[in-house]
Structure 1
């Protein structure tokens, strides 16, 4: 037993050094850290109540746990609508979080639009203190900030994670440049994992009449139509128009949806007006498979083409000339 009352200041400093060395030797190790966060949870709770909000949170935790367990991941903690997880390696973590996002897409396919679950994810590789249960350290705080900076459905990572990945995984990453994170003095270089195959899940649309481009909102159902609002609520995510008022009126108020199904992007026609995919009419209520390069003809007024990564322009900004994107998130 140490008699602390008899220790000199020098003795205490030496003891602190010894304890710090022992703490580091026994409990410090590198881990892949992951934070997930539900997008739009606060307005969801306000609109649908605590019971529905808690059910959405539980779905998040249950699907996450099922997807990361096979790749040696574990949930360390849950707080509010977020989860903190760790993995032994970056490659295993990427496998787990991609499986999680894919499974969420399957879950959302069976849920009403307003009850769909979208999650942003942040990854960081760093040294932490852990006894096999608790995990702590500055790296944990940085990882949480990375997740909070993400877009819906996005998987963001630090360069420390990127450097731990294998070659094939690195090829799926896109640099975002320096990103300002809350509580961090300098911008942090981040990357986004392009976890969807953009040949089956294109993210960009081109209006061929004007060569204007649109980035699709990051959600599993995106609605297109002439109507902007209905009873004070947004009617469409993408509001379609035309400089000629007569041609604009040919577009239905709710014309079609693009849905991210597990196997790819699908168009569902909502209108009695003509909607064609690659020159083939799609009856109202029916679906058509969409791929990069596919052409959507809207009521004979607009021609929209889905762009793959090789054909889109360098500018990802939404067009404001003929349509505007109203991302519900």
Structure 2
């Protein structure tokens, strides 16, 4: 959160905690070593719970995770923890880490054989190799943060690995293909991301998460921007060519003079190296992209959940302290009596309502009638709409197949996944 005096106070209290045992941080160095970290996450578990009830949902999650845990153990890995319907595991061998991921997907494919598509259990897997603090049956550090970030980029039935893990298994008999680049939270450099191809019957994934910048391609691709009516019908179509299309109230290729929430110009949508991109040119609220997959939250991000305009605020000093001291984030927040993160409710002009939604658990849900935070009068909110969850030092936001979607404000210039919606002022567009 951005208030400097409060940050200074929090940092001071963290230092006081560490001084209570000054040898603790030095002792942690002996637990630092290279390790491969794997995360799994079950796709669509919320919809399963709503369709079949809590008991059936819990049984599905238990059966799935028990199968995955058996694969981890068989291949020499160690299950670190279960986080909701997710698993975190560690491996000394990078090859066994990747082969575990492949076997997980293969076994679930067999389990799903003969089931209706909506009843199939599908998982997203991400893995990374790096240095972490391995202590007391847990792992802490950047290796966990990057692994969770990689997993957040994966689609159902997909296995993604980082560049460092790829280098360790490049000589193994595995089919691994480059997918693109992504940026780590709080860091300027981009990292390569790779897909482990485990099932040739699955089509190549071109519908990337909007945080992945696709690898350059020589293929000539055409993209169309569709303007949608409030009812979701196509009002007009525009081919993206040349420098793309600029959208604004009184300036640009597409003008909307009656939209008082739109700037002039407001946004530019274009194609770069085969990747559709959007650039925020606005002086007002900004440009929003409908989430496809999982979104990594950063301090001051603005999101739309149903009809709620929210600003995310976090205290990286608390998250960093948990990693540095090799303890769980809730342990630090309890000791400090402070939340590590929260949402601030905003008015339509982005001014604060002075109402806060604290993120007090590893996972919290938003919905009209179901969740940790409910909004019964929000007609744009689905029963269970979205969730925010913590992995390592990262907070993630995921839409739970809601009717009206969850949107995140663009940070400057951002990739756009094909098939998603873009909000510019009050206007909504789709990219196809």
TM-score normalized by the length of structure 1:
0.52
Query: Out of 103, 118, 121, which is 1:117 matched to?
Result: 121
Number of residues of Structure 1 aligned to a counterpart in Structure 2? 193
1:135 aligns to what SS in structure 2? strand
Aligned to 2:44: 40
Deviations 1:194-217 (A, max 9, x none): 112x3xx2627xxxxxxxxx989x
Alignment of 1:224-235 (within 5 A): none
Alignment of 1:54-69 (within 5 A): 54-69=58-73
Q: Which runs of 5+ in 2 are unaligned?
A: 1-17, 208-416, 420-432
Distance 1:148 1:183, change over 3 A: farther
1:168 aligns to what SS in structure 2? coil
Query: Out of 189, 193, 198, which is 2:192 matched to?
Result: 189
Q: Which runs of 5+ in 1 are unaligned?
A: 1-11, 205-213, 217-315, 319-329
Supply the distance in 1 between the matched residues of 2:24 and 2:41 (Cα, whole angstroms): 36
Aligned to 1:176: 179
Aligned to 2:403: none
Distance 1:167 1:181, change over 3 A: same
Query: Out of 117, 130, 135, which is 1:131 matched to?
Result: 135
For residue 115 of structure 1, report the CA deviation from its aligned partner. 1.6
Distance 1:36 1:202, change over 3 A: closer
Aligned to 2:75: 71
Distance 1:183 1:77, change over 3 A: farther
- Structure 1 stretch 128-137 or stretch 88-97: which is displaced more? 128-137
C-alpha RMSD over aligned residues: 3.0
Aligned to 1:83: 87
Supply the distance in 2 between the matched residues of 1:51 and 1:181 (Cα, whole angstroms): 38
2:172 aligns to what SS in structure 1? helix
- The answer as to whether partners of 1:91 and 1:166 remain within 8 angstroms in 2 is no
Supply the distance in 1 between the matched residues of 2:187 and 2:82 (Cα, whole angstroms): 23
For residue 79 of structure 1, report the CA deviation from its aligned partner. 1.1
Deviations 1:134-177 (A, max 9, x none): 221122122112111101111001101011114134x6111112
Structure with the bigger RCO (C-alpha within 8 Å, sep 6+) is: 2
Supply the distance in 2 between the matched residues of 1:215 and 1:116 (Cα, whole angstroms): 22
Distance 1:183 1:40, change over 3 A: farther
Aligned to 2:158: 154
Aligned to 2:28: 23
Distance 1:47 1:64, change over 3 A: same
Alignment of 1:125-274 (within 5 A): 125-131=129-135, 133-169=137-173, 172-180=175-183, 187-196=190-199, 198=200, 201=201, 203=203
TM-score normalized by the length of structure 2:
0.41
For residue 29 of structure 1, report the CA deviation from its aligned partner. 1.2
**Structure with the higher helix share, 1 or 2:** 1
- The answer as to whether partners of 2:38 and 2:89 remain within 8 angstroms in 1 is yes
- Highest CA radius of gyration, 1 or 2? 1
The answer to whether structure 1 residue 106 and structure 2 residue 114 are counterparts is no
2:121 aligns to what SS in structure 1? coil
Supply the distance in 2 between the matched residues of 1:126 and 1:103 (Cα, whole angstroms): 27
1:157 aligns to what SS in structure 2? strand
